[in-house]
């Protein structure tokens, strides 16, 4: 009997195992999909759709893939190169305890981290309630009228406050007064943001300079830090009147934990308050991600940047949440938008809000009081040791005058496992100590030991139990109540908290329940093995301004990931500092601006943007001091080269750049993209290729090879960082060789100019665009894991299957809906699209009265998040299935869309009235369908179970259709009063 041939060991080891787990369709599914499309093979499909002129000349040079287990071992080795010391640095980053119930059930729960930005309100009620809790928490603690749903970090929040003030006050000045004892990273980002806008930053480095500048009256805003970066507390109650007399805005950057004990800024006249919520249960994580905040006067609300969750009513008159004032946003107002921020930090805002819910007002106050008491005890003991304590008033930090002993003491502390704050920006003659929630009596005693002279006895431990008052002056102590809403006073046992978190997540649709086919959003798998490392202590407990040697693991991670992304994009240099796609755009435009200025051509300020562009593009261009000129697109969705030529010639002397998205936001591979790039280059401009649709390019084409000079990537799209319900994100900026010197620096961390080893010309450095040098560092391991496990072949397959899946959806739906902007490729059912397709419903609106929004809401009854609604074309739905969805889910979505087309046909035929049918009344809640009265022209079963398969598992929207107009006319952005639920 012949023995079967043995399978080679290398095949049994299966190093490429992860690719099969990431990719939805298997070989049999792929064959079926290709047959439906009319393509002979996957390679034939790609060659028919992707222009041959842009195809990669060589494969990506990436390490061969390894298994999930091997990748985790390799990454653990990198993480262990970081050194986790006890950091007393402060500077906006603090140790904290993440409650286990929040860690396990939110941060590590795909029901929360795989959700999308809550544009579809009806399937986002849970996370929007958590965000309203966040907004209420911020309003209560700051004493302000209204707060948004998070910002990217404290430094960029301060910069956004600066431009909010400029838009909102009467002063015509272009100067902002900034206290020199704000955090250094905040000062740097404000300088970066101010320069392109022609704003002048007036730094006050002493009380005398502060008073002189305020009394001068020529400014539109003034910014202070509370407590200051060295931990001091100042009485600012008299400053608001002086600032307002100059018709300017008073901006305060405030520590929320301090505000549980210190008079809130709103009570002494602040107009805008910003800060960070990191110390509310979110690890330091080498600088991010964390949820910053921005709160302001009610009069400023329609000019606020970022997302704002408001309360409205649904179709049944019940309270419901929604994103408010969306007409402020980039897709509508473009270069006139209030900000370019598209993604913020929702997942982290949810964690911070739940930290406040879990601890409640008394719990937060107790944490703050303990920190303040330990700080006072620390200061008392150091004074007994003869140390010169500089600040007599403070909350959690003290500054020590250490003179020429500064370096020696800091080294002693580090040798003992502790990091102290160095004030190099002030001459390096002081040390700072910042205590936090994790600080203990033992820590205080260890700090005393560092400062004690040899043989000097330490302060008596009895000092801890003596009635020592905090360093907060009585006049600055808070007396007002906060967090009085029941949600902050009800869920303090773990059982109650666990059930509250579960009740919210049950209201929402995320990737753990179904496909999210949002065009231009790339809602792909966020694999569990990719997520595991983000909570490792070696990544989570690193301070962003710790000595560089302690961050060696992060440095290696940065180098490897940048190298891999360079292979994917074809660019020479990359910075991972931008902590959102919008910030990557901004950094890329600053690089172009800096390059022009270094050549004596700083006058070049015209930015050409096709009308198909993503809405953040014109908003970013405006922030970079550029003037936007729109370029037309042709009937096929391509950039109109005739119009582009005319615009290039007209603006040749002042042309800075063009911003294109490729493939375009219309889902089109423009065959003339190389000619487009050359045309702009011929007129002295640079080409910015928006990386929003990079999921259609990796391994197939590289922007840096076909003419791009700059791109940003969205690691939260193409490279698997989860969207988190609206953040975090990472927006690396990628550039060709001559732009590398103009990548963002970070002087506050010692990075004095340029990155990737290239120094910019003197006077043309680009400053920091994020508070931390590595931006949202803690989520970078996710993308590292993805690339490491996929390898070059796996990443290329992902791109090709993403294109295959989109074409399969187009092929199945082409007989039911018009496919807008298809490639018109002969022989391909659906005409051939990129990685997404646009379904045009405008004719159906004319024939039936059914709108694209009606279809979007009806999909909820079928258990789906809607595709992208009315963008980039009004009256359409843009579908992006990604490579991760299996054939069964693609078919389930197509079946739903085909069934909905059948429902529209019944409206067209008059079977159902235009004003009473399952589409215009969607979504249907369980309460509505089970009500005693049913007066509709269609059956309950048609409302609830339009497909038989739904009877096996049904998602019920918690609310009916939300009234957007009512919500904006009756704007309310805090927790709903309990009385509003009285009839529930």
Q: Report, as an integer, the average pLDDT of 187-208.
A: 97
Count of residues making up the chain: 984
Section 852-879 average pLDDT: 96
Phi and psi (nearest 5°) for 751?
A: -90, 100
pLDDT at 336: 62
Q: What is the pTM of this model?
A: 0.96
Query: Of 845, 729, 709, 710, whose CA–CA distance to 776 is shortest?
Result: 729
Name 101's Cβ contacts closer than 8 Å, sequence gap at least 6: 358, 494, 497, 498, 501
Sketch out the chain's domains with CATH numbers: 26-55+797-917 (3.90.1150.10), 575-758+767-777 (3.40.640.10)
C-alpha–C-alpha distance, residues 194 and 174, integer Å: 9
**What are the DSSP calls for 333-393, one per residue?**
HGGGSS-------HHHHHHHHHHHHHHHHHHHHHHHHHHHHHHHHHHHHHHHTT-EE--SS
Give 234-245 pLDDT, tens digit per residue: 999 999 999 999
Least confidently predicted of 276-280, 296-300, 399-403, 965-969: 965-969
Question: Tokens 């301004």, residue?
Answer: 545
Return the H-helix or E-strand segment holding 86: strand 86-88
Asked whether the predicted pLDDT for residue 45 surpasses 70, the reply is yes
pLDDT of 5: 77
Is residue 344 very low, low, confident or very high in pLDDT (cuts 50, 70, 90)?
confident
Write down the pLDDT at residue 979. 58
Given a contact cutoff of 8 angstroms between Cβ atoms, the answer to whether 142 and 254 are in contact is yes
Find the mean pLDDT for residues 882-895. 98
**Section 874-881 average pLDDT:** 96
Percentage of residues in the chain with pLDDT exceeding 90?
90
The tens digit of pLDDT for each residue in 672-706 reads 999 999 999 999 999 999 999 999 999 999 999 99
**Residue 166 pLDDT:** 97
Q: What are 917's two structure tokens?
A: 């049918």
Copy the structure tokens of residue 17.
């195992």
For residue 566, pLDDT over 50 is answered with: yes
Q: How high is the pLDDT of residue 761?
A: 81
Provide the strand spans (E) within 227-375.
Answer: 249-254, 272-276, 292-296, 309-313, 319-323
Per-residue pLDDT reduced to its tens digit, 922-939: 999 999 999 999 999 999
pLDDT of 255 reads 98
Rounded to an integer, what distance in angstroms lies between the CA atom of residue 718 and that of residue 161? 31
Collapsing DSSP to helix, strand or coil, 88 comes out as: strand
Please identify which residue in the block is written with the tokens 């235009």.
Answer: 914
Q: What is the pLDDT of residue 983?
A: 44
- In the structure, what pLDDT confidence band is assigned to residue 756 with cuts at 50, 70 and 90? low
H-assigned helices in 875-957: 887-908, 926-929, 940-944
Order of strands, sheet of 292-296, starting from the edge strand that comes earlier in the sequence: 146-147, 292-296, 272-276, 249-254, 221-226, 175-179, 200-204
- On whether the CB atoms of residues 845 and 906 are closer than 8 A, the answer is no
What's the pLDDT score for residue 984?
A: 41
Q: Bigger pLDDT: 332 or 594?
A: 594
Spatial separation of the C-alpha atoms in residues 127 and 491, rounded to whole Å: 17
- How far apart (Å, rounded) are the C-alpha atoms in residues 948 and 58? 49
The 10s digit of each residue's pLDDT in 212-256 is: 999 999 999 999 999 999 999 999 999 999 999 999 999 999 999
Report yes or no: 62 and 520 within 8 Å, Cβ to Cβ: no
What is the distance in angstroms between the CA of the first residue and the CA of the last residue of the chain? Answer: 76
User: Are 196 and 590 contacting, i.e. CB atoms less than 8 angstroms apart?
Assistant: yes
- Whether the predicted pLDDT of 982 surpasses 50: no
Strand order in the sheet with 686-691: 573-575, 733-735, 710-713, 686-691, 655-661, 606-610, 627-631
- Does residue 333 surpass a pLDDT of 60? no
Whole-number pLDDT of residue 869:
93
Q: Are strands 868-869 and 876-879 parallel, antiparallel or unpaired?
A: antiparallel
pLDDT band at 338 (very low <50, low <70, confident <90, very high): low
């Amino acid at each position: 009997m012949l023995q079967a041939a043995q399978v080679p060991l290398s095949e049994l080891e299966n190093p490429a195992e992860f690719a099969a787990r990431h990719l939805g369709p298997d070989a049999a599914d792929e064959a079926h999909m290709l047959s439906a499309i009319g393509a002979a093979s996957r390679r034939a499909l790609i060659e028919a759709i992707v222009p041959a002129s842009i195809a990669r000349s060589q494969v990506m040079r990436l390490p061969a893939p390894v298994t999930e287990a091997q990748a985790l071992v390799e990454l653990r080795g990198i993480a262990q190169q970081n050194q986790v010391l006890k950091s007393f640095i402060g500077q906006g980053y603090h140790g904290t305890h993440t409650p286990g119930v929040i860690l396990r059930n939110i941060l590590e729960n795909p029901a929360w981290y795989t959700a999308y930005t809550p544009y579809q309100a009806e399937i986002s009620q849970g996370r929007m309630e958590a965000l309203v809790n966040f907004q209420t928490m911020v309003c209560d603690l700051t004493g302000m009228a209204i707060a948004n749903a998070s910002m990217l970090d404290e430094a960029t929040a301060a910069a956004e406050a600066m431009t909010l003030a400029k838009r909102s006050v009467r002063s015509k000045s272009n100067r902002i007064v900034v206290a020199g004892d704000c955090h250094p990273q905040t000062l740097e980002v404000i300088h970066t943001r101010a320069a392109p806008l022609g704003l002048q930053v007036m730094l006050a480095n002493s009380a005398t300079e502060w008073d002189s500048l305020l009394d001068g009256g020529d400014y539109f805003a003034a910014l202070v830090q509370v407590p200051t970066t060295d931990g001091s507390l100042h009485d600012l109650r008299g400053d608001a009147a002086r600032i307002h007399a100059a018709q300017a805005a008073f901006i305060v950057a405030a520590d929320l934990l301090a505000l549980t004990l210190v008079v809130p800024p709103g009570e002494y006249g602040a107009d805008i308050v910003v800060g960070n919520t990191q110390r509310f249960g979110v690890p330091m994580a080498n600088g991010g991600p964390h949820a910053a905040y921005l709160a302001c006067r009610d009069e400023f609300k329609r000019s606020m940047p970022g997302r704002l969750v408001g309360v409205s009513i649904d179709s049944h008159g019940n309270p419901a949440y929604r994103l408010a004032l969306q007409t402020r946003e980039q897709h509508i107002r473009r270069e006139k938008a209030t900000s370019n921020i598209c993604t913020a930090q929702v997942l982290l805002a949810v964690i911070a809000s739940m930290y406040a819910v879990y601890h409640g007002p008394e719990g937060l106050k107790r944490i703050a009081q303990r920190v303040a008491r330990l700080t006072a005890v620390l200061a008392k003991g150091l004074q007994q040791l003869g140390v010169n304590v500089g600040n007599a008033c403070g909350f959690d930090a003290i500054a020590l005058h250490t003179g020429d002993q500064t370096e020696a003491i800091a080294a002693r502390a580090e040798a003992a496992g502790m990091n102290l704050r160095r004030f190099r920006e002030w001459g390096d003659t002081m040390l700072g100590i910042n205590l936090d929630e994790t600080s203990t009596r033992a820590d205080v005693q260890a700090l005393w030991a560092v400062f004690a002279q040899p043989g000097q006895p330490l302060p008596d431990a009895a000092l801890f139990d003596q009635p020592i008052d905090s360093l907060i002056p009585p006049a600055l102590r808070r007396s007002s109540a906060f967090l009085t809403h029941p949600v902050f006073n009800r869920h303090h046992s773990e059982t109650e908290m666990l059930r509250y978190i579960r009740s919210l997540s049950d209201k929402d649709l995320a990737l753990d329940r179904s496909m999210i086919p949002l065009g231009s959003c790339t809602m792909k798998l966020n694999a569990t093995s990719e997520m595991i490392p983000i909570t490792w202590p070696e990544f989570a407990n690193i301070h962003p301004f710790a000595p560089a040697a302690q961050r060696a693991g992060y440095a290696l991670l940065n180098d490897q990931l940048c190298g891999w992304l360079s292979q994917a994009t074809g660019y020479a240099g990359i910075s991972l500092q931008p902590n959102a796609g919008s910030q990557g755009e901004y950094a890329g435009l600053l690089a172009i601006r800096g390059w022009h200025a270094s050549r004596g051509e700083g006058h070049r300020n015209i930015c050409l943007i096709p009308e198909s562009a993503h809405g953040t593009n014109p908003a970013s261009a405006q922030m970079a001091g550029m003037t936007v000129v729109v370029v037309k697109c042709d009937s096929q969705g391509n950039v109109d080269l005739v119009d582009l030529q005319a615009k290039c010639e007209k603006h040749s002397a002042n042309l800075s750049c063009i911003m294109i998205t490729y493939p375009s936001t219309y889902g089109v591979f423009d065959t003339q993209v190389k000619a487009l790039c050359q045309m702009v280059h011929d007129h002295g401009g640079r080409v910015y290729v928006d990386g929003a649709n990079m999921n259609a390019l990796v391994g197939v084409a590289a922007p840096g090879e076909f003419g791009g000079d700059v791109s940003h990537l969205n690691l939260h799209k193409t490279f698997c960082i989860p969207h988190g319900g609206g953040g975090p994100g990472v927006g690396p900026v990628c550039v060709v060789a001559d732009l590398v010197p103009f990548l963002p620096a970070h002087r506050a961390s010692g990075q004095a100019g340029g990155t990737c080893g290239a120094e910019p010309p003197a006077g043309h450095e680009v400053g920091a665009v994020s508070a931390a040098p590595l931006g949202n560092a803690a989520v970078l391991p996710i993308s590292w894991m993805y690339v490491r496990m996929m390898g070059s072949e796996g990443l290329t397959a992902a791109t090709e299957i993403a294109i295959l899946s989109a074409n399969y959806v187009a092929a199945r739906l082409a007989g039911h809906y018009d496919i807008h902007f298809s490639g018109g490729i002969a022989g391909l059912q659906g005409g051939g699209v990129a990685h997404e397709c646009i379904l045009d419903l405008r004719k159906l609106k004319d024939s039936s009265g059914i709108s694209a929004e009606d279809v979007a809401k009806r999909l909820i009854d079928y258990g789906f998040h809607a595709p992208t609604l009315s963008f980039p074309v009004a009256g359409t739905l843009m579908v992006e299935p990604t490579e991760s969805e299996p054939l069964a889910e693609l078919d389930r979505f197509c079946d739903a869309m085909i069934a909905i087309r059948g429902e529209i046909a019944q409206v067209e035929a008059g079977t159902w009235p235009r004003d009473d049918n399952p589409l215009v009344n969607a979504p249907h809640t369980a309460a509505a369908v089970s009500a005693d009265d049913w007066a509709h022209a269609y059956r309950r079963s048609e409302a609830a179970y339009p497909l038989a398969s739904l009877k096996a598992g049904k998602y019920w929207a918690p609310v009916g259709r939300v009234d957007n107009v009512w919500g904006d006319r009756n704007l309310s952005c805090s927790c709903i009063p309990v009385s509003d639920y009285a009839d529930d």
